[in-house]
Amino acid sequence: MIILKKRDLLISFLLLVATAVNAQERVTIELTKGWKFSKGINEKAFENNFKDSKWESVTVPHDWAIYGPFDKEIDKQSTAIVQNGEKVATEKTGRTGALPYIGEAWYRNQFSVPNFDKNKKVILLFEGAMSEPKVFVNGQKVGEWNYGYNYFYFDITNFINSNGNNSLAVHLSNLGSSSRWYPGAGLYRKVKLIVKNKESIDQWGTFITTPIVSDNLAKVNIKTKVTGENLCIITKINDATGNEVAVDKTDAIFGNEFEQNIAVNNPHLWSPESPYLYTAVSQIYVDDILKDEITTRFGIRTIKYEANKGFSLNGKVRKLKGVCLHHDLGPIGTAINKAALRRQLTILKDMGCDAIRSSHNMPSLEQLELCDEMGFMFLAESFDEWAKPKVKNGYNRFFETDAEKDIVNLVHATRNHPCIVMWSSGNEVPDQWGSEGVKRAKWLQDIFHREDPSRLVTVGMDQVKATMESGFGALMDIPGLNYRLPLYEEAFKKFPQGFILGSETASTVSSRGIYKFPVVKVHSKQYPDFQSSSYDLEYCNWSNVPDDDFVLQDDKPWVIGEFVWTGFDYLGEPTPYDEMWPSRSSYFGINDLAGLPKDRFYLYRSRWNNNDKTLHILPHWNWEGREGETTPVFVYTNYDSAELFVNGKSMGIQRKNNSTPQNRYRLMWMDVKYKPGTIKVVAFDKDGKAVAEESIRTAEKPCQIKLEADRSSLEANGEDLAFVTVSVVDKKGNPCPTATNQLQFSVSGNGRYRAACNGDATSLELFHLPTMKLFSGKLVVLVQSTQETGKIALKVSGRGLKEATMLLYSN
C-alpha cells in the first residue's frame, strides 16, 4: 500500500489527464503503510517463496526492538572501552540499551507505479535501514548497502512489472557486538519511490552554494547533473514568501552538468537568529517540453574559519554553542518522527543552543530540514570507526570497501542544507595512532573536499598526544578535541590551524531530581541506587564538569565553540553504571530520556540564552529525615548576584567570582541546613536592585495529577505527536518532587496512546505499555494522532490520586 503526499496526489491527477507529449512531472511516493514484518527468518527463506499472511502489519518508519523487553543478556559485551581509559575487559550489560535489536528480519510490501512506460525511470530510495539491507523487487535482488546510517537508492526501472503490480522485500541483519550504543533496528527511516522521465535531474544532482555574499548582492552558484540529450534548464529562485526574485536559463552543458551563477539582490541571510530560506525551482526541458522539475531549499550565508580569530558566520565571529545528539528518540526508539525531533530542537533553542553534532552517525534528512527552519548550525558526522575496530562487528568490516561511497552519499544527499557548517569524518577512531591513520584521515578529508569544496572537515580526537606526534591533528581542517582540557594550550601551539574546536565536551553525569550528599566534585562516583547526583559536579575519569569548558570558551578566542556530550539522554552507554544491572540508558544528557530538563539545563541556559532571564534553584526541598543536616543550595542564573532565604531568614548574598570555575558560573550556598518550609532566592541587577525571585516549597503528600502538553493541536496524519508532561502535586498545588506513584494512561477519540517515559535510566518498564511509575515526580506521555480529525482525550490515573483528563485536537 502506498501513501502519497498532498502535492504528489495533485501531481498524479495531473499526470492522468495530461497528454503523453506533456507528461512531465515526477511523482514521489512514500511507502508508509501496508508493510509486513517478521523477525527471525534468514535470508535464504526468500528463495522458498515464503508466505507473509501471518506476519505483523507495521508502518514504516519502524524500529522493531524498541518494544523490548529489556534483558541484560542481550548483547552482553566483555570489553575494555579504550576511549574511557579502560585496560581490563569487564562485562557490559546495558551498553546497547539491553533491547532486542540483534537478529535477521524481513519487510515486505506491494506497490504500483503510476503511468509507468518505457520513457519512465523508477528510483527506490532508502533514507536509512538498520542494517546491512538487501533489497529485492519482484523476486530479484536489486542491490545491497552495508552502512545502516546512510541514505542509498537503486534504479529499479528494469525490475518493474508492466502490469503495475510489484513486490518489494528487504532483508536486514543486525549482529551482536556491532555498536557502542542502541542502534535501533529495522526500516527506521523513510522509504520512497521516485517516478520520473528518463530525461531528468539525477538523484541528489543539484548542488547550491553561495560563494559571494554582500548586503546588496549574493552570487548563487547552482550545479545540476542531468541525464538526457538536447536539454536546457530554467532555474527560478523564490524568496520565503514564494515570490520570484531571480531566474536563469541556459542550454550550455558540460558533460552531464549545467552550471548557473544567479544574482540575488538584497539577500536575506541565513543564521540561527534569522533562518531565512530561499527555494530554487529547477526545470529541465527538451524542445520546450518540460521533462522534470525539482525544488530545493537553500540559505544564503557565508562561513569562515581563521587563525587566532575563529569561526565566523556572515562575517561575524561567534562561538558554537552546541550539543551532541545520538539518533534515538527515547521512548519511540530510532523510528524517525518529525514531531519528536521538533520538540527536541525547541527545548534546545530555549536553552540557547545554536548547533548540533550528529553523533556518531549520518543525520536524518528530517533533522537537517528542521535545523534549516529553526536555526541550528550543524556538524554532520559520518563514522564512529574506520579500519581499526572499537567493537568486533562494527563499521571496520566495511571501511576499506565502503567508506568512499558512504561519504559521497552523505554529502550529495545533504549538502544543500545551509545549517551544515562542517563535516566530521570520524570520532575517537583508534586509527589516530600511527602513519596508516594519518593516511586514512587525509584520504577521507580529500573525498569530502572533492565532493564539497565549500566546507571544512574535522575529526573528534581523544588521543591528542598521539595526533600531535603523528601529524594527524595538523592535517585536519579543523582540529577537534574530545575533552583533554589540559592539552588545549599545547595543541593550539603545535597545530598550525590557529584554532581549536571542542568537538565533545563535559560528559557530566546526573539523574533528574536526584541529589547526593555530601556535595563534592568527584569523578566516577557510584551509588547503590545506580543514580548520579544532579548537583552537576560528577563526571567521568576522562571528562569534566561544564564550568571547566566554560572557562576555555570564554577566555580563549582561538577556541571556536563546543559540542556538549549530550543534549539528551539516549539508550545505551549507561556510564558510570555500564557494568551494573539494571542500567540501560545514559546519564550524560542535559535533558533526560523523556526530554525533561535536568538542573544542568539551566546552567547552560544561564550562559547561552542571551534573550531570556534564567533563575533556577536546586535541590528540591523535600528532605524528610535530613532536618538540621547540611543541604547546599545552588542557583543557576544569568544575574551576577542573589540572596537566599530559608523560611524568611537570609542566608546571605552570593556573587559570581573567579576563585574557582564553579564560583564563576554558579551561585552556591554550601552551609545551608535543611528545614521544611520555603527557600527563596532574590536576584539583583548590576546596580544592586532586586529584579527577580524564585521559590521552592516543601510539598505535602501527593494528592492530584497535573498535565501539561507541549502542544494542543495535532496534524491528522497518523504520525504527529503531543508530549504531555505528567506530574503530581499536593493539595495546595505544590509539586511533589519525590513522588514515585504508578500511573495508568488511556487515550480515546481520534488519537492513540504511543508511549511513556520517566527518564529513569534504571527503569525496565516498557515504553509502549500504558502504565509507568513517576520518577522524581514526573514522566511524559506521548499521544499520537490518527488520520481522522476531531477531539483526543488523554486520561491519567493512579491509586489515591485525583485523576486528570486533557483534551487535544486533531486537525
Rounded CA gap, 573 and 464, in Å?
23
For 119, the grid coordinates are 520513457
Tell whether omega for the bond before 61 is within 30 degrees of 0, i.e. cis: yes
Burial letters 342-359, b for 16+ CB under 10 A, else e:
bbbbebbeebbbbbbbbb
Angle at 388 between CA 382 and CA 391, to 5 degrees: 80
CA distances from 691 to 5, 50, 615, 634, 683 (A): 51, 71, 11, 18, 6
| Residue in the block written with cell 506521555 | 781
Residues in the chain: 811
451 in active site: no
Rounded CA gap, 801 and 740, in Å?
12
Number of Cβ atoms within 10 Å of the Cβ of 704: 16
Mapping DSSP to helix (H, G, I), strand (E, B) and coil, where does residue 31 land?
coil
Mapping DSSP to helix (H, G, I), strand (E, B) and coil, where does residue 385 land?
coil
Q: Which residues does residue 797 pair with via DSSP β-bridges, in sequence order? A: 744
Cβ(571)–Cβ(334) below 8 Å? no
- Residue 613 neighbours by CB under 8 Å, 6+ apart: 637, 638, 639, 692
Burial letters 371-390, b for 16+ CB under 10 A, else e:
bbebbbbbbbbbbbbbbbbb
Taking the alpha carbons at both ends of the chain, their separation in whole angstroms is 24
Question: Please, is 640 exposed, middle or buried when counting C-beta atoms within 10 Å of its C-beta (0-12, 13-18, 19+)?
Answer: middle
Cβ(132)–Cβ(148) below 8 Å? yes
373 in active site: no
Instruction: Let me know how many helices (H) and strands (E) the chain has, helices first.
Output: 11, 50
For 504, the grid coordinates are 565533545
Residue type, 319: K
Residue type, 266: N
Q: Which residues does residue 154 pair with via DSSP β-bridges, in sequence order? A: 124
| Active-site position among 127, 504, 562, 719 | 504
| Active-site position among 127, 199, 381, 428 | 428
Q: Report, as residue numbers or ranges, the catalytic residues.
A: 428, 504
